[in-house]
Structure 1
Amino acid sequence: MNPRIRIRAGAVVSAAALVLSSTVVSVVAAQTGTQQTGTQRAVGGGTPADRAYRDLLDHGPDARILTAAHRAQWRSAPENSVPAILAAFEDGAEIVELDVRLTADGVPVLMHDTTVDRTTDGTGRVDSLTLAQVQQLRLKKGLGGAQAELTDERVPTLAQAMRLAEDRGLVNLDKGWPFREEIWDVLVETGTVRNGLYKSDAPVDQVQEFRSTHRGAVYLHMITDANLAAVEEFGDDQPVAYEVNFDAATDAVARRPFLDRVAARSRVWSNTMWNGLSERMTDEASLIDPLRGWETLVRSYNTTIFQTDDVVKLERWLGTGTGDPLPRGAVRVQAEDFLPGEGVGYHDLDAANRSNLQMRPGEGVDIQDVDGAVSLGWMRGGEWLTYDVEVPRDGTYELSVRASSPYSPAGAYTVSFDDGAPSAPVEVWNTTSHAKQELQRSGVTQRLTKGTHTLRLALPEDAYQNWNLDFVQLDPVRR
């Protein structure tokens, strides 16, 4: 590990400043002042985009760790939308990752898929629709999907996105290499050549030909074991970064000697959105323990750029060293820690675990790994779970669940304490993905005394149920 890791806002941590707890070793930032985000943060003069560009070119041992927001801040707005771009920068990302496609009339627009079906109220291939037709479509909430709620947002052009980014930060132009000339025209027109980050795994000679004829183009290269020789082929003219993807730590691109050579002249970009991009070192694993993801990628894999689906929580870790800390006075119980015994501690309609984690052999509750999060799946009406919760002090508490579902309705539950009457049904939100969980407040409050209480979560039989449960949380109600 480097003896010094640049974290945020000029904060530097020495090896001696690493702190050990019973379950976590975390990098803790020694903050030198109040951290700022978004357009307020422009240390060293100029705009936040100036700072992000200077930081991107810094490959030194104290290089600042940069955050790239996958499809922008889709947790706040539709993916690849104007408000998602603004939210990503405001939440602290230096880079937004956006997906580029061409319309039938050759205009670069923001769209991840080859079709508009998943993320809009339309159908058809992007390249079969004109710009006018594409801009008539309404974007769906979050990551979209068949049952995601429609919004009033429209599909942006790349030019719109680049004008937003001009003073705010950088844009990773994903899927854009086949349209590099059309993208270049947009970057020149909007005065944002240095803001746009080209990316591909194309043959090196093709990349170098483009770079030689497009002065100022910023480029990063994608590598796996299949094309790791590209690092040597670039010679002295290295890309600003390498997006290193590996599904096993034994892959050649994941080995430290190779990564040391890469990091000596470029930045190492790691993707943590789901399993198989950086083995199993994901956002979700990092929230449980940063050593399972983000922190180990910095320490052992030379990562200095993270592409994430959890901008806010990654930024918090960069500033504090904690993954998903429990709020002061709150109680959290992991979903898989239900009380034992069919018909006593739980009731499940299937006799066997239908999911992929056999954590509690002989019990029928469906425990699963969802990109690093241990959660319960196959939720069905008529099932129930009980938990022991240790309340730290007398008070009134509100219950929340961290849950996920791509469906509307997703499901519902009731909650009761100490064999009391159940609450009214609480609806589970559509998070637009089974793998993307959100903490959802229930509005159910309960007065509890200090000590152990039993909580029962029950799924009404008359409600459609198809959601995942990560954990249950009780937060003190402060008046």
Structure 2
Amino acid sequence: MRSHRTRAAVCVTLTACALALAPTPATGTAPPENAADRALRAFLDHGPKAAVMTAAHRGQWRKAPENSLPAIRAAFADGAEIVEVDIQLSKDGVPVLMHDETLERTTNGTGRVADRTVAQLRALRLRVGLGGRQAALTRHRVPTLADAMKEARTRGLVNLDQAWREREAVMGVLKQTGTVRNGVFKSRAAVPEVRAFRARHRDALYMHLVDDDNAGAVKEFGKERPPAFEVVFDDAEDEVAGPAFLKGVRGTGRVWINSMRDEFAAGHTDEASLIDPARGWGRLIGTYGATVIQTDNVEALRTYLAKGPVNKVPPGAVRIQGEAYAPGKDGVTHHDTDPGNRGDGPGRPGEGVDICDHDGAVAVCWMRGTEWLTYTVDVPRTGDYTLKARVSSPYSPAGTYRLTVDRGPASGPVRVANTTAHHAFVLQGSGVTRRLDRGRHTLRISLDDKVPQNWNLDHLQLEPVRR
């Protein structure tokens, strides 16, 4: 029987080496397997029983700035096996983590990333979450790719987005940090170009992006297909969304599908999944054969994969969708200052309330001062209830509202906090508590006048106060 060392020495690809890690009697016990070992083994497994893997888009940006070291740590801690980061090159040729080519959205800097040295970039502070010019600054700094790969070395894999153009510089970082097996390169480059890179770096992990424009690339790879394909489709009728195409991909590798935005997977999004997984993650897995899902909702996806439906209404609570305001005329059940529906969502015919569809989250939008909405709600039992609202806004201040129950006195102003993007919804407490008897009640949300108002309302939630 060959020794472990002999088998490792004759490996010619990362895949083969990964399969040769089992201990043998000649060498004794292998080193303990860590999370990155398990993630690599899983990524290379495309068998019929391969578990669905979770990839965190820009890290866990709901808990730390996107593309930051704490966002990477939080993503892995929350169960992601893969973390996606974006890469730009500094003026002095150092790969750093940054999605945009410019600095304004995510840092307190200005100008192009490529015009700043790595020392200058490291001095900048990152903004909360998805950033935006009105998002608060944090104490966290712009990391280099080397910093990020060291964080991932024992934790999991890293999807190296926007890295293909600087692939040799990026590969140099992976070799320097001992993380070649952690980094997943990605492109939609011509197949000969990809073959040349993989021939130079036979230990590199690679994933090819395909849509209807380059669907033929899958067959062009022949027997040297990469271990995964990122499949992008904005319509269920697209060729790459067809059963035959996906079966062909699934037969030799993993099917990676992004669930963050409508255009990545024909509307089967994170937000749709939070309403009904059959509209999102469930459909991606059951119909399209996804074995890697990249998400903005790491914890919710991990919970769904382990336990089923997520985002359930808490025990004893009542949830009211923002667009489900009481039927009636303007001035009676609602008031909107704009004529017609300014949003792109399913507004009611003949009514002017603005309804938007933010990648599956149908929400009241274009909020303006003096507007108000009335809701009817059935309370299951008598008790004290507090109001929460799932909202989004990239602005500071975003706005304020007041709550009135059953025509009683209005509450004080409730401040809506910046969530860093229109599509970044967060359930925020109001601090307003009311004693409600069992039965039907009327709630009115009124927007203050003469203060900035620019936020979106997904749903309201009355939750019992636990004593």
Asked if TM exceeds 0.5, the reply is yes
For the pair 1:412 / 2:412, whether they are aligned, the reply is no
Aligned-partner residue type, residue 339 of structure 2: A
Match of 2:74 in 1: 87
Maintained 8 Å contact 1:353/1:363: yes
- TM-score of the aligned structures, taking structure 2 as reference length: 0.92
Secondary structure at 2:125's aligned position in 1? coil
Match of 1:402 in 2: 390
Secondary structure at 1:465's aligned position in 2? coil
Aligned-partner residue type, residue 447 of structure 1: R
**CA displacement 1:76-124 (0-9 Å, x = unmatched):** 1110001111111111111100001110111010000111121111111
For the pair 1:299 / 2:286, whether they are aligned, the reply is yes
In 1, Cα distance between the equivalents of 2:347 and 2:308? 28
For the pair 1:65 / 2:52, whether they are aligned, the reply is yes
In 2, Cα distance between the equivalents of 1:206 and 1:284? 37
For the pair 1:109 / 2:93, whether they are aligned, the reply is no
Given candidates 191, 195, 200, the residue that maps to 2:182 is 195
Match of 1:241 in 2: 228
In 1, Cα distance between the equivalents of 2:381 and 2:37? 49
Match of 2:414 in 1: 426
Match of 1:228 in 2: 215
- TM-score of the aligned structures, taking structure 1 as reference length: 0.90
Single out whichever of 319-328 and 374-383 deviates more from structure 2.
319-328
Q: CA deviation at 1:161?
A: 0.3
Q: CA deviation at 1:382?
A: 0.4
Match of 2:323 in 1: 336
Aligned-partner residue type, residue 445 of structure 2: L
Match of 1:128 in 2: 115
Q: CA deviation at 1:45?
A: 5.7
Secondary structure at 1:152's aligned position in 2? strand
**CA displacement 1:226-255 (0-9 Å, x = unmatched):** 111111111111111110001111110000
For the pair 1:138 / 2:125, whether they are aligned, the reply is yes
Match of 2:241 in 1: 254
In 1, Cα distance between the equivalents of 2:194 and 2:322? 48
Q: CA deviation at 1:153?
A: 0.7
Question: What does 1:430-441 align with in structure 2 at a 5 Å threshold?
Answer: 430-441=418-429
Maintained 8 Å contact 1:338/1:386: yes
For the pair 1:364 / 2:352, whether they are aligned, the reply is yes
Secondary structure at 1:325's aligned position in 2? coil
In 2, Cα distance between the equivalents of 1:366 and 1:192? 49
Q: CA deviation at 1:300?
A: 0.8
Match of 2:169 in 1: 182
Aligned-partner residue type, residue 77 of structure 1: A
In 2, Cα distance between the equivalents of 1:280 and 1:413? 31
Question: What does 1:197-216 align with in structure 2 at a 5 Å threshold?
Answer: 197-216=184-203
Secondary structure at 1:139's aligned position in 2? strand
Aligned-partner residue type, residue 143 of structure 1: L
For the pair 1:315 / 2:302, whether they are aligned, the reply is yes
In 1, Cα distance between the equivalents of 2:250 and 2:355? 39
Maintained 8 Å contact 1:45/1:51: no
Q: CA deviation at 1:351?
A: 3.0
Match of 1:390 in 2: 378
For the pair 1:165 / 2:172, whether they are aligned, the reply is no
Maintained 8 Å contact 2:125/2:137: yes
Maintained 8 Å contact 2:341/2:347: no
Given candidates 60, 71, 85, the residue that maps to 1:98 is 85
Aligned-partner residue type, residue 379 of structure 1: M
In 1, Cα distance between the equivalents of 2:123 and 2:92? 15
Instruction: Structure 1: state its 5+ residue gaps.
Output: 1-43
Match of 2:21 in 1: none
Maintained 8 Å contact 2:347/2:354: no
Maintained 8 Å contact 1:335/1:376: yes
Q: CA deviation at 1:385?
A: 0.7
Secondary structure at 1:415's aligned position in 2? strand
Cα RMSD of the aligned pairs, angstroms, is 1.1
Query: Runs of 4+ in structure 1 displaced over 3 angstroms?
Result: none
**CA displacement 1:144-179 (0-9 Å, x = unmatched):** 111111111100000000000011111000000111
Secondary structure at 2:264's aligned position in 1? coil
State percent identity of aligned pairs: 57
Secondary structure at 2:323's aligned position in 1? helix
In 2, Cα distance between the equivalents of 1:137 and 1:414? 38
**CA displacement 1:341-380 (0-9 Å, x = unmatched):** 2111111112311112243111111112111111000101
In 2, Cα distance between the equivalents of 1:78 and 1:462? 32
Instruction: Structure 2: state its 5+ residue gaps.
Output: 1-30
